[in-house]
Amino acid sequence: MVNDKVYWLGTDGVYEWSDEGVTNISNDTVGPWFKSDTYFNRGRFENAFAKYNELRHQYELHLAAVGSSTEDRWVAFNLINRKWYGPHKTAAFTPSHAASLLNESGLPVALVGGTNGTIYSVNSTSYRDGPVLTPSSINMDVVGAFNFGNAPDIEHWWGELSVLSKVEAAGILSIYPTIGRLETAEGPTISADLTKGRQRMRILGVGPGMKLRFQQDTVNQGCTIYGFEVPWFEVGRR
């Protein structure tokens, strides 16, 4: 229960019980996560477990991936913007249970236990998995939707990419553009400097659709993308 609202996993999605009644909060956006066999092992839904992340104000649900017999993935529903994030996975350990408790100062803390017998704190200030001497990077890999300009059968000119991100002390964000159709391979990598808040990159090219993938996997390197902009027009039309 969070702020007089109850959250749980049903056979066809995640539900919220509030003063307004019972609502399926996953159906409209991430319904296939829970209704198909593409993402998670639905046969292990009864073994799923969740926690409340006080710092991020989100409900975090641990699930087993397709073909897995352990709850080695998790997804998060942010209670402020009501958006879903994930799936996530850690290479440092295999989660086995989770809890939202109070620390020695009486402050809320989110904890995850591993099959290795270790309890981990969720909200670390360092962007890494594992111990300090042998850390693993956190691989941020975000795939955007295909944009077809409401005309998927027409060629489009996709102009100069502009990226807005949080200013970091260092770091490079790799951007992989796809210009074409669903089966088209990714184009040459675009490197964005994370020490700059806004950058204007190269022209993307000509094709029916445009999709971007953002990736950053440096140990102890933060990365926040606020948005991007790409001007476009239909080729052969005015």
Per-residue pLDDT band for 210 (boundaries 50, 70, 90) equals very high
pLDDT at position 237 is: 58
With a cut of 90, say whether residue 124 has pLDDT above it: no
Is the CB of residue 84 less than 8 Å from the CB of residue 75?
A: yes
Q: What pLDDT, in 10s, does the model give residues 133-188?
A: 666 777 788 888 899 999 999 999 999 999 999 999 999 999 999 999 999 999 99
Q: Percent of the chain at pLDDT above 90? A: 68
| CA gap 86, 67 in Å, rounded | 18
| CA gap 99, 50 in Å, rounded | 8
Is the CB of residue 17 less than 8 Å from the CB of residue 58?
A: no
Of 213, 123, 218, nearest in space to 168 by CA? 218
- Residue 143: Cβ within 10 Å count: 12
pLDDT at position 125 is: 67
Output the CA–CA distances (angstroms, integers) from residue 229 to 151, 159, 206, 235, in the order listed: 19, 9, 16, 19
With a cut of 80, say whether residue 204 has pLDDT above it: yes
Q: What pLDDT, in 10s, does the model give residues 32-78?
A: 999 999 999 999 999 999 999 988 899 999 999 999 999 989 999 99
Residue whose entry in the numeric block shows the structure tokens 């111990």: 131
With a cut of 90, say whether residue 230 has pLDDT above it: yes
pLDDT at position 2 is: 85
Residues 6+ apart with CB under 8 A from 116: 93, 94
Question: pTM for the complete prediction?
Answer: 0.72
| CA gap 14, 66 in Å, rounded | 18
pLDDT at position 93 is: 84
pLDDT at position 226 is: 93
How confident is the prediction for the chain on average, in pLDDT?
Answer: 91
With a cut of 80, say whether residue 27 has pLDDT above it: yes
Could you state, in order of their start, the residue ranges of all structural domains in the chain?
6-123, 141-234
Helix intervals (H) in the chain? 27-35
| CA gap 59, 50 in Å, rounded | 7
Is the CB of residue 63 less than 8 Å from the CB of residue 44?
A: yes
Is the CB of residue 137 less than 8 Å from the CB of residue 149?
A: no
Candidate CATH numbers 2.60.120, 2.60.40, 2.40.128, 2.30.170; the one for domain 141-234: 2.60.120
